[in-house]
Amino acid sequence: MAAYMSRWTKRCLLSFIFKNTSLSKGVRCEVLKAGRGCSTLSGGQTSTSAPWAARVGLVSHYDGLVHSGSLQEDTQQRAALLQLEQLNRVMTDYTNIPIPRPKDCSLSQPTSQLENKVKSSESGIKLCSPEDVNDTQEESPKPHPPHGYYIHGDVGTGKTMLMNLFYSFVENRRKTRVHFNGFMLDVHRRIHKLKLSLPKRRIGKMTMYDPIFPVAMEIAEETGLICFDEFQVVDIADAMILKQLFEGLFKCGVVVVATSNRPPEELYKNGLQRAAFVPFIGVLKERCHTICLDTGIDYRKRKMESSERVYYISSEPDAENAVNTLFEELAYRQNDVTRQRVLNVQGREVTLSRTCGTIADCTFQELCERPLGAGDYLEIARHFDTVIIRNVPHLRVGMKDQARRLTTLIDNFYDQKVRVVMVADAPLDLLLDRGPMTGEEARDRLMLDELGLTDEASERLTLFTADEEVFAFQRTTSRLTEMQTEEYWISGDRSRT
């Protein structure tokens, strides 16, 4: 790789980024369309089916992509699509409305009535639960809810591509595609909102609040099909509510299709209080067929046309100057001035020190060393289509929090087709080092003592080993590789949409 980008090369890159070009006609464009345009639960709208869906079946479309050379033939992918096509046919006429409601379910009552009911009760109120659905005022939805699918396999094997194709072909407006992190963020937000709507507990009165199933019913009223990308459980707060949440979704007829790097049995592997999480695995396997994509090929790393340099090593001569010049030329085409921007994320302020229009020039410290999460990164992705990330360090195992945030950031940027230019201290394939822990031994030692855990027990917990972060970072590396390709940069050009 060249040590730096010449001004002529940078002008070629800028010309490439902004020229009025399009992909080759035909099926190649359709692959990109299948990966775009997803809705989230909070958005309230679902995208319509792909325009070619009515003309050709899902598997036939895949065969056409293979025949044209846009995709490489993969027997495991095709076998998975055969199963997804069966679900696609069922979903055309499927609805989970009406939602089966328990008698006297508190969620169905206006807040004022709910408060009055609590105030007039001596023992408080217990919100409805999945078991209460057996005693319903309305009949269960017909036809019977079909089984969903849980697709797992190594990074880059085509899981997300298959799910995107399936989602684009489903001719049912009650569908949602969402990143799992974003979904759980929304669930916790709904739980918090529901708790705030309930009256405060009175001294001497026993009040039982069970907000999880009502939230599941609320989600089920908005959608009948949820496609989850990157189903991964790393948060104990998520792990403890998943069984009840998904029992509620399934009881309300929601169909789930999910992709994950882990098989169901390895979700939340070695996590704290995993014994309480394990029953969720049974719930998931009961309602979702499991598909394994074990091709051993990372298609993101296949030979693709490069989009010029967008990943720099900080030790390379003039790397910073090359990125400075790139920002200036990108900013020149924006109808804005270079300035600080403050984004409001659910009442919190997230400040980015250098932006211009839809371009953000950030440091790793700004994005990954502050307590930011999926919601913050989604808000950044909403405002900016190109983000420069400087000063990315050589990540040590002891930097678990920073590594996890970078993984979440790239997941959300990739999902929203945000283009990334990065300046890092190490090559991409060596960016995460599994060397000795640094900087967090004292904190972890204190936590071990507080939890009463032995050193032997701590070795089995991902909280202290960072195995989950190392495993997830394989996906980050794979996605950053694809994000450097010409195809990805064209698909992320929002000026053309």
Question: In this structure, what CATH number is given to the domain that contains residue 483?
Answer: 3.40.50
| DSSP, residue by residue, 381-411 | HHH-SEEEEEEE--B-TT-HHHHHHHHHHHH
Question: Residue 469: its pLDDT value, please?
Answer: 67
Question: Residue 450: its pLDDT value, please?
Answer: 47
* Residues 329, 229 within the same domain: no
Residue 20 counted as domain residue:
no
| DSSP, residue by residue, 293-344 | E-----GGGS---B-S--EEETTSTTHHHHHHHHHHHHHHTSSS--EEEEEE
What are the start-end ranges of the E strands in 159-298? 175-179, 225-229, 255-260, 288-293
Q: Where is the domain boundary, 275, 299, 323?
A: 299
Residue 16 counted as domain residue:
no
Q: Apex CA 284: angle with CA 125 and CA 223, to 5°?
A: 65
Question: Residue 482: its pLDDT value, please?
Answer: 87
* Residues 310, 265 within the same domain: no
* Residues 330, 237 within the same domain: no
Q: Report the C-alpha gap between 94 and 141 in whole angstroms.
A: 9
Angular region, 87: left φ>0, alpha ψ -120 to 50, beta rest: alpha
Element (DSSP H or E) covering residue 42: none
Q: Report the C-alpha gap between 405 and 407 in whole angstroms.
A: 5
Q: Where is the domain boundary, 266, 299, 332?
A: 299
Judged on CB neighbours under 10 Å (0-12, 13-18, 19+), 344 is exposed
* Residues 294, 307 within the same domain: no
Range of the domain at 147: 34-299
Q: Report the C-alpha gap between 253 and 223 in whole angstroms.
A: 10
Question: Residue 162: its pLDDT value, please?
Answer: 93
Instruction: From residue 475, give the alpha-carbon distance in Å to each of 179, 194, 331, 457, 479.
Output: 14, 35, 30, 28, 6
Residue 219 counted as domain residue:
yes
Q: What is the mean pLDDT of each run of 10 residues along the chain (497 residues)?
A: 42 45 35 39 44 66 89 91 94 85 52 41 50 55 81 88 93 92 88 82 62 93 94 87 95 95 89 89 96 81 63 90 90 90 90 94 95 90 95 84 90 91 92 59 47 48 54 84 86 71
Q: Report the C-alpha gap between 356 and 136 in whole angstroms.
A: 55
Q: Is the distance from CB of 265 to CB of 101 less than 8 angstroms?
A: no
* Residues 335, 392 within the same domain: yes
* Residues 289, 310 within the same domain: no
Residue identified by tokens 């679900």 is 87
Residue 491 counted as domain residue:
yes
* Residues 232, 291 within the same domain: yes
Question: Residue 134: its pLDDT value, please?
Answer: 58
Residue 23 counted as domain residue:
no
User: SS in 3 state form for 254-268?
Assistant: CEEEEEECCCHHHCC
* Residues 269, 374 within the same domain: no
pTM higher than 0.75 for the full model?
no
Query: In CATH, what number is assigned to the domain containing residue 47?
Result: 3.40.50.300
Q: Where is the domain boundary, 254, 274, 299?
A: 299
Residue 24 counted as domain residue:
no
Total number of domains in the chain: 2
Residue 11 counted as domain residue:
no
* Residues 437, 322 within the same domain: yes
Q: Report the C-alpha gap between 131 and 255 in whole angstroms.
A: 19
* Residues 358, 250 within the same domain: no
* Residues 245, 379 within the same domain: no
Question: Residue 473: its pLDDT value, please?
Answer: 82
* Residues 334, 459 within the same domain: yes
Residue 27 counted as domain residue:
no
